[in-house]
């Protein structure tokens, strides 16, 4: 809690837990709670006196006690239902250790997608894993096609816990598809039931990995790395100038010689970007420029500020080609998401090259490209070419909102503290989108 604003989620949970808050609308979406601050602070104080470490702990207890319930016999949202039953009957509690489970997919719209089988399942994510609604990674014993997508063993269920529209990642992926960015994840919205309990509305998508139907590069000569501030997976290294956090995702069992090749390629790009001779260096020869423009632009449109850390930024290189950015991933901190107030769609201004959304080495890395007149000219040209597709995304938002309306209601019954008036929230998203596109059009036109 900072300033005159309260953690909206915390106040709602705490008030209801103590029977002092019956109607969620008394805490406005913006997070200001003028009618309950004394009670909010008082209860937090009581918690501290009882030995509970403040509001966060009470909030976590409240989530477990007060999460809503949907009778799975009555679940009928029109979306496919994925039912997972662990063999132990216990919940999935680890991001590292898989547990065996049975899976069943029931698609009311296409029985060809129905499936029964056995899987392994574990948790996934960084910030999202700490939320009460858990994201998952599932692994089949053999390559399996889901919903017509190319066969693979590994798949992901994104929880979209904080997302008040259930659409932020979907919009990012759809933009990537329209831009023609290679290896952009597909998406299918599904309902998920684990051990007989409805967990909510999820997005099923591909796991980020190399291979056919994923990042299809030469397995022997190509590489895939992730730039991510969590910096928690080996092998990893930091670049010499910006100390960019780089984790090598492929090859998985990297030998010293391959490690040196990957490290040199990334470091050479950074050196070319930050040479005193920039932009008159060979940096454009080291990359596939069109992928950098498209990748940055999609994240620019969605105002995905994680680029400036960086977090969840992937970079790959195929044999005989320059480095490419992609695939797109993780738009949880796009659309002007405020993690303290739990709001979206407020500020539509700012571009990566002229704004500091996040303090990190990613900001310096991505801003550098805009200091090259050739890059800026190409960026402007691409914006103008894609403008009709970008504007037409409003129709896609309407279509998906209609598709998800019943699912949103069911999901909001369980995770009620993030539930909004869905038509109003979609209207806020569309208004933000219009303002964002108009703003970017003015800014980019001035390049």
The mean pLDDT of 421-437, rounded to a whole number, is 98
Helix (H) or strand (E) holding 246: strand 245-250
pLDDT of residue 14: 57
pLDDT at position 289: 98
Confidence of residue 37 (pLDDT cuts 50, 70, 90): very low
**Residue 330 Ramachandran class (φ > 0 left, ψ -120 to 50 alpha, else beta):** left
CA distance 102 to 107: 17
With 50 as the cut, is the pLDDT of residue 6 above it? no
Predicted pLDDT at 59: 57
- Residue 348 is encoded by which pair of tokens? 């539509």
What is the band of 50 on the pLDDT scale with cuts at 50, 70, 90? Answer: low
Q: Per-residue pLDDT tens for 352-396?
A: 888 888 889 999 999 999 999 999 999 999 999 999 999 999 999
CB within 8 A of 344, min separation 6: which ones?
A: 163, 164, 165, 168, 335, 336, 337, 338, 428, 429, 432
- d(C-alpha 86, C-alpha 78), whole Å: 25
Q: What is the DSSP string of 264-329?
A: HHHHHHHHHHSSTTTTSSSHHHHB-HHHHHHHHHHHHHTT-GGGGTT-SEEEEE-TTS-EEE----
**Residue 31 has what pLDDT?**
30
Q: Kindly report, residue by residue over 70-110, the tens digit of the pLDDT.
A: 999 999 999 999 999 999 999 999 999 999 999 999 999 99
Average pLDDT over residues 319-345: 94
User: Mean per-residue pLDDT for 164-173?
Assistant: 98
Average pLDDT over residues 341-347: 91
Q: How far apart are CA 308 and CA 318, in angstroms?
A: 25
- 219-233 average pLDDT score: 95
Taking alpha carbons only, the member of 185, 205, 174 closest to residue 393 is 174
Could you please report the per-residue DSSP string of 108-140?
TT-GGG-EEEEEEEEE--STGGGSSS--EEEEE
Q: HSE of 412 in the Cβ direction (CA atoms, 13 Å)?
A: 17
Quick one: pLDDT at residue 418?
Answer: 85
Residue 337 has pLDDT above 90, yes or no: yes
- 93/199 Cα distance (integer angstroms): 14
Choice between 401 and 30, residue whose per-residue pLDDT is larger:
401
Token pair recorded at residue 149: 């997508």
Q: Tens digit of pLDDT for each residue in 252-274?
A: 876 778 899 999 999 999 999 99
Q: What is the DSSP letter of 223?
A: E
* Average pLDDT, integer, range 439-445: 98
Confidence check: pLDDT of 20 > 80: no
pLDDT above 80: residue 243? yes
User: Which range, of 276-280, 300-304, 337-341, averages the lowest pLDDT?
Assistant: 337-341
Report residue 391 as tokens: 């504007």
Handedness of CA 348, 351, 352, 357 (dihedral sign): negative
Q: Which segment, 27-41, 184-198, 409-423, is predicted with the most confidence on average?
A: 184-198
User: Containing H/E element for 101?
Assistant: strand 99-106
Question: What is the mean predicted confidence (pLDDT) over 421-429?
Answer: 97
HSE of 174 in the Cβ direction (CA atoms, 13 Å)?
18
Average pLDDT over residues 18-28: 40
- DSSP 8-state secondary structure symbol assigned to residue 5: B
Q: Which residues contact 17 (CB under 8 A, 6 or more apart)?
A: 58, 61, 62, 65, 66
81 or 21, greater pLDDT: 81
DSSP string, 371-394: TSHHHHHHHHHHHHHHHHHHHTHH
Kindly tell me the burial class for residue 321, based on how many C-beta atoms sit within 10 Å of its own C-beta (0-12, 13-18, 19 or more): middle
pLDDT at 28: 30
Per-residue model confidence (pLDDT) at position 236: 95
Give me the pLDDT at residue 34, please: 33
């Amino acid at each position: 809690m900072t300033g005159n604003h309260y953690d909206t989620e915390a106040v709602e949970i705490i008030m209801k837990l103590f029977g002092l808050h019956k109607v969620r609308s008394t805490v406005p979406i913006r997070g200001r709670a003028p009618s309950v601050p004394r009670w909010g602070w008082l209860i937090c104080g009581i918690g501290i006196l009882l030995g509970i470490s403040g509001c966060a702990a009470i909030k976590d207890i409240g989530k477990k006690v007060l999460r809503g319930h949907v009778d799975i016999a009555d679940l009928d949202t029109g979306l496919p239902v994925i039912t997972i039953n662990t063999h132990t009957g216990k919940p999935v509690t680890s991001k590292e250790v898989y547990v065996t489970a049975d899976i069943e997919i029931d698609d009311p719209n296409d029985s060809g997608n129905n499936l029964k089988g056995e899987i392994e399942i574990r948790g996934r994510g960084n910030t999202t894993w700490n939320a009460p609604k858990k994201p998952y990674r599932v692994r089949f014993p053999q390559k399996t096609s889901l919903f017509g997508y190319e066969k693979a063993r590994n798949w992901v269920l994104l929880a979209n816990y904080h997302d008040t529209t259930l659409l932020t990642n979907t919009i990012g992926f759809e933009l990537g598809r329209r831009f023609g960015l290679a290896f952009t994840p597909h998406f299918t919205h599904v309902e998920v039931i684990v051990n007989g309990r409805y967990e909510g509305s999820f997005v099923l998508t591909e796991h980020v990995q190399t291979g056919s139907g994923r990042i299809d590069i030469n397995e022997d000569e190509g590489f895939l790395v992730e730039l991510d501030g969590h910096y928690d997976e080996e092998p990893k290294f930091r670049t010499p100038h910006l100390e960019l956090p780089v984790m090598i995702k492929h090859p998985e069992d990297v030998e010293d010689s391959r490690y040196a090749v990957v490290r040199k390629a990334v470091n050479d790009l950074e050196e070319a970007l930050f040479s005193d001779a920039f932009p008159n260096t060979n940096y454009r020869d080291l990359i596939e420029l069109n992928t950098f423009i498209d990748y940055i632009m999609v994240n620019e449109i969605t105002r995905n500020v994680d680029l400036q850390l960086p977090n969840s930024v992937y970079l790959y290189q195929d044999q005989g080609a320059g480095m490419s950015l992609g695939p797109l991933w993780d738009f949880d901190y796009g659309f002007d998401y405020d993690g303290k107030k739990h709001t979206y769609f407020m500020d539509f201004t700012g571009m990566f090259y002229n704004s500091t959304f996040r303090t990190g080495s990613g900001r310096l890395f991505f801003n550098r490209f805009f200091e090259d007149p050739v890059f800026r000219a190409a960026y402007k040209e691409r914006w103008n070419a894609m403008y009709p597709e970008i504007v037409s995304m409003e129709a896609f938002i309407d279509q998906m909102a209609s598709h998800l309306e019943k699912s949103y209601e069911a999901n909001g019954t369980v995770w009620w503290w993030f539930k909004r008036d869905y038509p109003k929230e979609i209207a806020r998203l569309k208004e933000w989108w219009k303002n964002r596109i108009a703003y970017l059009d003015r800014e980019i036109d001035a390049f």
